[in-house]
Amino acid sequence: MSIEEEVKEIVSGIVHVDKNLMARESTFKDLKADSLDIVQALVAIEDKYDIEIPDEEAQKFQNFGDFISFVEKKVQEGKS
């Protein structure tokens, strides 16, 4: 399973949205995620991949694609 698929799986379980409806262009607002959902998703992703997502970085995410790209980059950095 790719990182994108795993992230979708985690986030869809938290915000209760069908992961097939989650596009890279989607925003958390599109997914009807509230601030608690977003925090839970960030913590779950941090725990899953043993990465840190600083608040200032999280605030820069324009859409789900930005979030996935950030996670992919952090995971790759951790492997090198």
Among residues 34, 37, 50, 55, which one is catalytic? Answer: 34
| pTM for the full predicted model | 0.89
Q: For 8-27, give one letter per residue: b (16+ CB within 10 A) or e.
A: bebbbebbebeeeebeeebe
Query: Catalytic: 55?
Result: no
Q: At what angle do helices 64-79 and 3-15 cross, to 10 degrees?
A: 130
* pLDDT tens track for 29-77: 998 999 999 999 999 999 999 999 999 999 999 999 999 999 999 999 9
Give yes or no for a contact between 43 and 55, defined as CB atoms under 8 angstroms apart: no
List the domain boundaries for the chain: 3-79
For domain 3-79, give the fold.
Answer: 1.10.1200
Torsion, Cα 50 5 34 48, to 10 degrees, reads -20
